[in-house]
Amino acid sequence: MMKRLFASAALAALTAAPAFAHFQLVYSPDPNIERPGDVPLKLIFWHPMENGHAMDMGAPEDLFALFKGDRIDLTGSLSPITFAGADNTAAAYQATLPVKRNGDYIVALTPAPYYEGSEDIYIQQITKVFFNKGGVPTGWNEPAGLPTEFVPLNKPNNVIAGSTFSAQLLSEGEPVPGAEIEIEYIAAEPDMDTNAAGAASVGAMPGGALVAITDENGVFTFGIPRAGHWGFAALGSGPETEHQGKELSQDAVIWIKAYDLE
């Protein structure tokens, strides 16, 4: 169970990382779609909980959606944008998800490895986010076949604020026990028209990153305290450990949307 995860990447992150966590976003305001059409996606590498520093993304390696097991290539819709965070601007991307039929659309991004100079490592956050049309569930709990990924155990597009969210962490299809999971909230939601961070709805938490640990089945649970976009990341859970002669942290990221019950 003591994968290299704890041996190197996670320990290094615990000691050297800034108080808050960087998260790859695949952002769109509303995962619940009523009508057919193109859903805009913003791909941003950012510190969204502290509304902090944004990082320059390279051209993504892959971007696709799964619908009822069919793979929809989204790379043709990618175009570069500049994202303006509270502190700085950074290279980011936008894309579109064509939604036609009722059901679940699992979107998966494999970004280019990002070089983090302060740690002399590459970071690649393989990111999943979920859309649904018509309220018809068709496989949100199926793995997407990524090198590392979270498989949700609660429907990810409409979690009730005040309930819990659980997911299983996989690496090459196998559960990852004992993994450190960083938990993040988008405090300032990106504006879809201006590609700028909006006003922050909450301040940064005292005590640094929120963390949970996966159990023997690779499962973690977190109580979702408020509505909005919540992200979960496992650092170094992927099988690739090296890129261009340097350490690679190949991470899994999942985003969910929580709503108030009103």
Q: Enumerate residues 7-66 that contact Cu ion by CB under 5 A.
A: 22
Do the Cβ atoms of 41 and 107 come closer than 8 Å? yes
Strand partners, 248: 122
User: SS3 of 11, please?
Assistant: helix
Residue 86 CB, shortest distance to Cu ion, in Å, is: 14
Q: What is the size of the binding site for Cu ion (CB under 5 A)?
A: 1
Nearer to Cu ion, 22 or 229 (CB): 22
Tell me whether residue 118 or residue 244 sits nearer to Cu ion (CB atom): 118
Task: Measure the N-to-C terminal CA separation of the chain; round to a whole number of Å.
Answer: 42
Q: Measured from the CB atom, is 100 or 246 closer to Cu ion?
A: 246
Residue in 123, 127, 97 with CA at minimum distance from that of residue 109:
127
**Smallest separation, CB 230 to Cu ion (Å):** 18
CA 131 from centroid of its chain's CA atoms: 14
The smaller minimum CB distance to Cu ion, of residues 89 and 217, is found at 89
**Closest distance of CB 160 from Cu ion, Å:** 30
Q: Which of 160, 230, 162 is nearest to 201 (CA)?
A: 230
Shortest spacing between CB 49 and Cu ion, in angstroms? 11
Helices and strands (H and E) in the chain: how many = 2, 21
Binding mask of the shown chain, residues 231 to 260, with x at each position contacting Cu ion by CB under 5 A:
------------------------------
Closest residue to Cu ion, judged by C-beta, is 22
**212: amino acid identity, one letter:** A
Quote the least distance from Cβ 16 to Cu ion, whole Å: 10
Give least dist CB 3 to Cu ion, A.
22
If the CB atoms of residues 22 and 128 are measured against Cu ion, the closer one turns out to be: 22
Residues 260, 161: contact at Cβ < 8 Å? yes
The region that residue 219 occupies, defined by phi over 0 for left and psi between -120 and 50 for alpha, beta otherwise, is beta
User: Which 101-160 residues touch Cu ion, going by CB under 5 A?
Assistant: none
Q: Where does this chain bind Cu ion (CB under 5 A)?
A: 22
